[in-house]
């Protein structure tokens, strides 16, 4: 993921000049919004452009307030620009409207806008050459680390793994009821897991053919035992929470720790390694006895599935707390109203359904 360390945003609104009443409503809103700084109006031949600045922390609520009254939905468009800094610095006043009661300075809803979260996560769940290449490279490095009992090598493979990207895509699609994103991310996650498992199987076949001894190392055993399932889930759940916090707050420093702690890649590779050895060395001579390597293979893959589910749940919890949910134009509307001659859907803050709200312009 690419994270941008910016201090402020410039929001640009483009409205048609014929939308006089809508323009008046937007103007009055910006005059009352204490988070909109340095408001500038520019008239063109066909459109009026309104620009204002706000802090990163307040960008989301400013944009959502504009979308509620119809900007970017029923009329006009919203463009978001990044600013490194503004002199003098912009204020982070906690209240939203002048004269309103002061709210809490810190709240869980402060995050990137939904569109920015989409753009950040979208890069990670697409089926690209980079995604496939990292799956293959990470799998090879991990397989070598597991076979040689090298913990640093296994840790390095976790940093190469791109499997976290589709999980974020699935979680975002679920939170925003975006079926297209969810299905695409599920498909690409399945492909990544298949590639990882395949490289584990191939490595296991090579080692099983040329190695007579039982080469299961400590790194492999710790991921193939039933006793390792519960600790893995306990670690994966907070990792999912940390991952979602990282994405919604644009803090890339958390990702390295999450990638190492979550450990999605090693259990899949280990499942392939144990599967190969069990099929070649153990199953032909089992005589009906339990096959230890095949059991470890199954345990390793179950560990991956449990970690995956725990990360998904952790991300979903944070997305719910951060109010990452469908925009009014992503949802099937139940009601609509006429705003100055244009159909505008307004969200109900108490639930996910749309509702009718009356706005009077004087």
Percent share of the chain, pLDDT over 70: 78
pLDDT > 50? residue 332: no
**Which pLDDT score is estimated for 109?**
56
Please tell me the least confidently modeled range out of 33-37, 45-49, 208-212, 282-286: 282-286
Ranges 182-191, 321-330, 333-342, most confident: 182-191
More confident residue, 105 or 122: 122
Burial class (CB in 10 A: 0-12, 13-18, 19+), 39: middle
Question: How far apart, in Å, are the Cα atoms of 5 and each of 18, 56, 83, 107?
Answer: 38, 10, 9, 21
**Which pLDDT score is estimated for 328?**
53
Rg of the chain taking only CA atoms, in angstroms: 26
Which of 283, 139, 151 has the alpha carbon at shortest distance from 201? 139
**253-307 per-position pLDDT tens digit:** 677 777 777 788 999 999 999 998 888 877 666 665 667 888 999 999 999 999 9
pLDDT > 70? residue 157: yes
CA 22 to chain centre: 34
pLDDT > 50? residue 351: no
pTM: 0.73
More confident residue, 212 or 240: 240
Question: How far apart, in Å, are the Cα atoms of 10 and each of 38, 47, 52, 241, 274?
Answer: 10, 18, 6, 30, 55
Confidence class of residue 125 from pLDDT cuts 50, 70 and 90? confident
φ and ψ of 215, to 5 deg: -95, 15
Per-residue pLDDT, averaged over 314-320, amounts to 91
pLDDT > 70? residue 187: yes
Place of tokens 């809103």: 29
**Which pLDDT score is estimated for 348?**
43
**Which pLDDT score is estimated for 247?**
85
């Amino acid at each position: 993921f690419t994270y941008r360390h910016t201090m402020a945003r410039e929001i640009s609104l483009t409205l048609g000049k014929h939308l006089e009443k809508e323009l008046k409503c937007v103007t009055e809103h910006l005059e009352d919004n204490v988070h909109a700084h340095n408001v500038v109006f520019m008239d063109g031949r066909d459109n009026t452009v309104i620009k204002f600045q706000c802090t990163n922390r307040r960008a989301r609520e400013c944009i959502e307030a504009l979308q509620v009254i119809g900007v970017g939905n029923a009329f006009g468009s919203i463009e978001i620009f990044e600013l490194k800094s503004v002199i003098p610095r912009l204020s982070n006043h906690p209240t939203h409207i002048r004269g309103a009661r002061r709210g809490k300075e810190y709240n869980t809803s402060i995050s990137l806008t939904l569109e920015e979260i989409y753009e950040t996560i979208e890069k990670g769940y697409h089926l690209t050459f980079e995604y496939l290449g990292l799956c293959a490279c990470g799998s090879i490095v991990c397989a070598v680390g597991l076979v040689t009992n090298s913990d640093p090598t296994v840790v390095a493979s976790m940093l190469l793994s791109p499997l976290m990207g589709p999980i974020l895509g699935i979680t975002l699609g679920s939170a925003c009821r975006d079926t297209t994103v969810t299905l695409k991310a599920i498909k690409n996650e399945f492909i990544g897991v298949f590639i990882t498992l395949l490289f584990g199987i191939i490595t296991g076949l090579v080692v099983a053919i040329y190695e007579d001894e039982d080469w299961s190392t400590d790194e492999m055993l710790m991921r193939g035992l039933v006793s390792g399932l519960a600790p893995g889930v306990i670690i994966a759940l907070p990792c999912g929470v940390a991952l979602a916090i990282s994405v919604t707050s644009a803090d890339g420093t958390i990702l390295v720790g999450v990638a190492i702690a979550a450990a999605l890649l090693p259990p899949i590779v280990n499942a392939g390694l144990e599967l190969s050895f069990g099929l070649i060395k153990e199953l032909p001579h089992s005589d009906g006895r339990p096959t230890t390597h095949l059991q470890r293979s199954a345990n390793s893959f179950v560990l991956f599935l449990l970690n995956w589910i725990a990360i998904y749940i952790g991300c979903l919890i944070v997305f719910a707390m951060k109010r990452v949910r469908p925009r009014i134009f992503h949802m099937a509307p139940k009601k609509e109203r006429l705003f100055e001659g244009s159909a505008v859907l307004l969200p109900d803050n108490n639930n996910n359904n749309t509702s009718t709200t009356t706005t009077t312009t004087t």
